[in-house]
Amino acid sequence: MTALDTVPTLLHDDTDWWRQASVYQIYPRSFADGNGDGIGDLRGIISRVPYLQNLGIDAVWLSPFYPSALADGGYDVDDYRDVDSKIGTLEEFDEMVAALHGVGIRLIVDVVPNHSSDRHEWFVEALAASKGSNARERYIFRDGTGENGELPPADWTSIFGGPAWTRVPDGQWYLHSFASEQPDFNWKHPEVREDFLHTLRFWSDRGVDGFRIDVAHGLAKDLGEVLPSKAELSAMPKDGTHPLWDRDEVHEIYAEWRSVFNEYTPARTAVAEAWVETPERRAKYASPTGLGQAFNFDLMDADFSAAQFRDIVSDNLAQSAVTGSSTTWVFSNHDGIRHATRYGLPPRAGRPGKQGADWVLAGGPEDGIDRALGLRRARAATLFELALPGSAYLYQGEELGLHEVAEIPDDQRQDPAFWRTTADDRGHDGLGRDGCRVPLPWTRSGSSFGFGTGTAHLPQPAWFADFSVEAEDGAEGSTLELYRKALRLRTELQSAENLTWDEDLCGIDVLAFERPGGWLSITNFGADAVALPEGEMLVSSAPVETTADGHHQLPGATTAWLRRPVS
């Protein structure tokens, strides 16, 4: 029996399931450890399927689980069509798909097409092959500059810091937009294109429902003989003609992928991670003839502010009206500072949305966060998000109200963004992303807080106990119970993909909108309570207050959902 045989008919029938799905991101190495070696694995995920079902999500997005030396947390892939032996086996993968499908949860997997790892068989072959060989052509090799080619082909910097070119023993250099263990593919090479079609079919045949495309804007490159300098490169417009990013012809690749997706019933879906200059350029990735959906990270970069949230929602809904795709919303993921923490730190002067950056950069201190305020706002923000039309992408641990871990000893850090930079040249997240990747606490005590029977691969702080599943399960008012309730209600209330701002209720610190069917969401971003309109109270992110004369009031930093009579 294959995983596909077990898919309930219901999952086959709904071709639009992705449009307004609640998608829960699992970073597999930090979710649950089934065999006690300190690294999360597929067995761990399988054992937690009842937890996922109970949470009420529609789909899981699984970050890379492929064989990898973990130079970049698995985004350095040795083999695109296998499971890392540290994480499980292909048989366990099939078992996981069947277990998820069995409870009506779909699965999206990560595809990392911009670069492989330096242990991928093609890169090993390229190193052994000579200059100008077919094997080298699959990547981006160049001769160096300087008298003896001892200088890199260009002075470019990698996204994780440090040089973007690394020299190989015979003197040539290869391009890596990220860590040196992540050589960039040459997407002009037909074998590279063919191989990814094979990979998409491989996982689709195993029952995978969709794909998250890493660095989707990076694949197509056009490097002439003479390379621009770093300064010239950064001055070039990203309008489709930039040598490295968001080139127009990248969409030819995705048109081919779309025809593969459409070979399946229902068609496989995809969501692009595309960092582009304008909403119009993002729309191209979301086209139905391309990947179909694209992340917008605008809310990750916003302060807890009514004005900023409103602009972001309006702009993105306008964009989706143009593309025909649905919008996506994200507050936290494996690359950013958890939103409960961002909202509990002072704003960064002159840098809206970069709340928390200085604190992470300084490695804490942990008590520098106002945990209660951060969490209160994060809960309000999430409830706001879950009422919006479109897909909500949630990151493991946010349903527990988990905070970022800042105090990680240097020698235990894993992120290449930390190891490739020095204290002087660190960017806003230069200490890296380990703080949001600390293994989840499942129990109040015990080895690695129930993550597994061994020691977690990143250190968990003592305060994790209070944020454990055990502490929150069934506890009135806990963040976990809030997510469960909101996700169930969302499924019930979800309707056409639009909203109407309720201008009578909106104010400087208040946003209120109504979805079809009388579903009203109202958020108070300020500190003082505001009056609530009439309606049946469905859920609120903090207790609603009642005045002496019996009127309901929405306290500061709180969202409530009400059902109002449909006229």
Q: Is it true that the peptide bond before 346 is cis, omega within 30 degrees of 0? A: no
Set 252, 263, 466, 545: catalytic member: 263
Instruction: Give the chain's largest Cα–Cα span.
Output: 85
Q: From the list ligand NOJ, Ca ion, none, which binds 112 (C-beta under 5 to 8 Å, kind-based)?
A: ligand NOJ
- Is residue 62 involved in binding ligand NOJ (CB under 6 A)? no
- Within 13 A of 194's CA, how many CA atoms are on the CB side? 4
- Is residue 246 involved in binding ligand NOJ (CB under 6 A)? no
CB 417, min distance to ligand NOJ, A: 8
- Provide the token pair at 348: 């960064």
Q: What letters, b where the CB count within 10 A reaches 16 and e where it falls short, cover 409-439? A: eeeebbbbbbebbeeeebeebbbbbbbbbbb
List the one residue from 215, 267, 286, 499 that touches ligand NOJ (CB under 6 A).
215
DSSP letter string over 316-343? Answer: HHHHHHHHSS--EEES--TTS--HHHHT
Instruction: State which of positions 256-295 bind ligand NOJ (CB under 6 A).
Output: 273
All residues at 6 or more sequence positions from 55 whose CB lies less than 8 Å from its CB, including other chains: 24, 399, 483, 484, 487
Residue 99 near residue 92 (C-beta atoms within 8 A): no
For ligand NOJ, which is the closer residue by CB, 334 or 563? Answer: 334
Distance CA(325)–CA(313), nearest Å, equals 15
List the one residue from 33, 94, 184, 214 that touches ligand NOJ (CB under 6 A).
214
- Is residue 75 involved in binding ligand NOJ (CB under 6 A)? yes
List the one residue from 97, 100, 112, 192 that touches ligand NOJ (CB under 6 A).
112
Look at residues 22, 19, 60, 16 and name the one whose alpha carbon lies nearest to residue 393: 22
Residue 42 near residue 34 (C-beta atoms within 8 A): yes
CB 246, min distance to ligand NOJ, A: 15
x/- map, 348-387, Ca ion, by CB under 5 A? ----------------------------------------
List the one residue from 21, 30, 31, 41 that touches Ca ion (CB under 5 A).
41
Residue for token pair 């950056």: 357
- Is residue 178 involved in binding ligand NOJ (CB under 6 A)? yes
x/- map, 18-37, Ca ion, by CB under 5 A? ---------------x-x-x
Residue 448 near residue 460 (C-beta atoms within 8 A): yes
Stretch (H or E) spanning 166:
strand 165-167
Positive or negative, the CA dihedral 241, 243, 245, 250 is: positive
Q: Is 473 among the residues known to form the active site?
A: no
- Is residue 335 involved in binding ligand NOJ (CB under 6 A)? yes
CB 46, min distance to Ca ion, A: 12
- Is residue 66 involved in binding ligand NOJ (CB under 6 A)? no
Q: Is 214 among the residues known to form the active site?
A: yes
Set 72, 110, 118, 214: catalytic member: 214
User: Cβ-closest residue to ligand NOJ?
Assistant: 75
For ligand NOJ, which is the closer residue by CB, 59 or 215? Answer: 215
Which residues are catalytically annotated?
214, 263
Chain residues binding Ca ion by CB under 5 A are: 33, 35, 37, 39, 41
Chain residues binding ligand NOJ by CB under 6 A are: 72, 75, 112, 178, 214-215, 273, 334-335
